[in-house]
Amino acid sequence: MSAVRVLQGELQVKTAGRGFVDLTARVAGWLAEQRAQAGLVTAFVLHTSASLVVQENADPDVRADLERFFARLIPDSLEYAHRDEGPDDLPAHVRAALTATQVSMPVRDGRLQLGTWQALWLAEHRVAGSTRRVSLTFVGTGP
């Protein structure tokens, strides 16, 4: 029987501006490098204007529709007091507050246990691209 291990790592994710970046393969690759077998992996985004979501991975219209929904719900054009980094600053914070900064996913037989149409996405909420950091923690067993 394998002992429980706690492993940590970090991903650097380049974004092109508002939208979604699929992290699924990168997290799966990290788990494979760690030889993780069974447990739980948690991804945590280290920013206040980006977030993580588990969402549809097949039809890009889903992500485009989500972005249109956020644009209507949280427009950049409102008069926000917090505009230190531009008109998209507070809207980015609100979008992140309405989604999640961390996502935990089960790992079984060395693989992420996501549904057929699920993927882990980093949601970039700023208009300009950026480099985002995502902390990974695996708690579980391995060889």
Q: What is the pLDDT of residues 76-122, one digit of tens each?
A: 998 899 988 889 999 999 999 999 999 999 999 999 999 999 999 99
What average pLDDT does the structure give for the chain?
95
Q: Residue 89: in which H helix or E strand, if any?
A: helix 89-98
Q: What is the mean pLDDT of residues 30-57?
A: 97
- Residue 132 has which token pair? 């985002």
Predicted confidence at residue 104, as pLDDT, reads 98
**Domains of the chain from N-terminus onward:** 5-141 (2.60.120.460)
Q: What is the pLDDT of residue 70?
A: 96
pTM of the model as a whole: 0.94
Name the band, by pLDDT with cuts 50, 70 and 90, for residue 45.
Answer: very high
Q: Which of 113, 134, 115 is nearest to 123 (CA)?
A: 134
**pLDDT of res. 1:** 58
**DSSP symbol at 3:** P
Asked whether 137 and 6 are in contact (CB, 8 A), the reply is yes
pLDDT at 143 over 90: no
